[in-house]
Amino acid sequence: GAVVSQHPSRVICKSGTSVKIECRSLDFQATTMFWYRQFPKKSLMLMATSNEGSKATYEQGVEKDKFLINHASLTLSTLTVTSAHPEDSSFYICSAVWGGEQFFGPGTRLTVL
């Protein structure tokens, strides 16, 4: 149990386009999901806390208009990178909370050309 999926696993897009990444809890409901960003050989940086039915809480320095988060149901949160640029290229990982623990998705590799 407690499986989290992400889609797509890998995406390449042109500069200026928007990309949506989905995070799903497959066998449990999650009121809270988190979005992290990981640079190569670096730690995970928390971007925002996604709460079902309410606005996401963004960490300091993360542009909320750039990284749109929607947690429309108890099993799905989406992260949309708007007007993507090469510096947005990164590995994006989500997690979903169940039973007091965070379960992580497999990550999405975004490359912006």
Partner 1 sequence: GEDVEQSLFLSVREGDSSVINCTYTDSSSTYLYWYKQEPGAGLQLLTYIFSNMDMKQDQRLTVLLNKKDKHLSLRIADTQTGDSAIYFCAETSNQGGKLIFGQGTELSVKP
User: Interface with partner 1 by CB under 8 A: which residues?
Assistant: 4, 6, 32, 34, 41-44, 46, 49, 93, 95, 97, 100-107, 109
Q: Which is nearer to partner 1, 19 or 36 (CB)?
A: 36
Look-up of token digits 């050989």? 41
Smallest separation (angstroms) from partner 1 to the CB of 17: 23
Q: How far is CA 106 from the centre of its chain?
A: 11
Give the residue with the Cβ less far from partner 1, 35 or 88.
Answer: 35
Give min distance, CB of 82 to partner 1, in A: 23
Distances (CA, A) of 96 to 23, 47, 72, 75: 8, 14, 14, 9
Cβ-based burial of 32 (10 A; exposed 0-12, middle 13-18, buried ≥19): middle
**What DSSP line would sit under 22-37, residue for residue?**
EEEESSS--SEEEEEE
Q: How far is the CB of 46 from partner 1 (least distance, A)?
A: 5
- Please, which residue, 82 or 102, has the CB nearer to partner 1? 102
In the complex, the smallest distance separating the C-beta of residue 18 from partner 1, rounded to whole angstroms, is: 23
